[in-house]
Chain A
């Protein structure tokens, strides 16, 4: 070997180059964008049954045939409170449409705290508890608020992390309605 230092430098360059190629080809160009999309999108909605504050029982089966937005929230989180006006506006827009359902699921909160808050805020859509955070876990939630769009056929077609605007909610609904 005539020039060992050159060979060593070449070896290092090959390793670094290979690493760069692997990273460039396998890592998303926008990792944050990947984190903003639920892994559940494109999959069948987890089977669930929840009991609403007003005593109804709703399930993935009973909601079949409707476009459903599931919103994970709690009463003490500031981003959820910031999102509330958008949800109210969205709910008012679709109040007369039986094919659209907005369902709020408590995430990390108690019914005792959330019920008076909902009454004080005049929340009109269905709200349900999630004992043991089972549904929150099945959806793979990372925090709150998070909103998931479910098509009438039971497919999760979109998700939104953080406070959603009315436009975001309309986009999620349009995605749900455009799928069978």
Chain B
């Protein structure tokens, strides 16, 4: 592999890893009880709506949950404890994002496994194609083409 190619692939790898790390890095900057409650409200599904978060719904239930979230964050409950309260009441379906354990882990792991398999498959295919000798036109081939073009 040439030095230039190594640089290109290395740069690409850094870009991909950097993007993934940036995307996966916890973005929560919520520190006050109100901002934590607001962020939790975006994670919970409104129980009597079709596909809205508690933050986006104006139903009575959503309003009650928003008030409850604020009360709990002010009382010092952690985000994990609050999520668990709602899972205990409604089940995992109350979470808009699947959990990263149990069955929910599959949702996160499967795409990574699929990507890894695809990458391995491509690497194997490229290696196989590289091993195949390039076809070169022989003098006989050139003559055949010349005759065909001359008509």
Contacts and interface: CB of A to CB of B under 8 A. Distances in A.
Category for how many chain A residues contact B: 20 to 34
B61 A133 contact: yes
Interface of A: 1, 4, 8, 11-12, 15, 19, 22-23, 26-27, 34-35, 39-40, 107-108, 132-134, 136-138, 140-143
B39 interface: no
Main secondary structure of the interface of A (DSSP, over half): helix
Contact of A137 (B61, B103, B120, B121): B61
A27 B104 CA distance: 11
Given A12-B117, A19-B110, A40-B89, A142 B47 contact: yes
Interface of B: 47-48, 59-61, 63-65, 67-68, 88-91, 93, 102-103, 106, 110, 113-114, 117, 120-121, 124, 128
B47 A26 contact: no
A132 B67 contact: yes
A136 B102 CA distance: 29
Main secondary structure of the interface of B (DSSP, over half): helix
Contacts of B63: 133
Contact of B47 (A1, A11, A34, A141): A141
A132 B103 contact: no
Contact of B103 (A11, A26, A107): A26
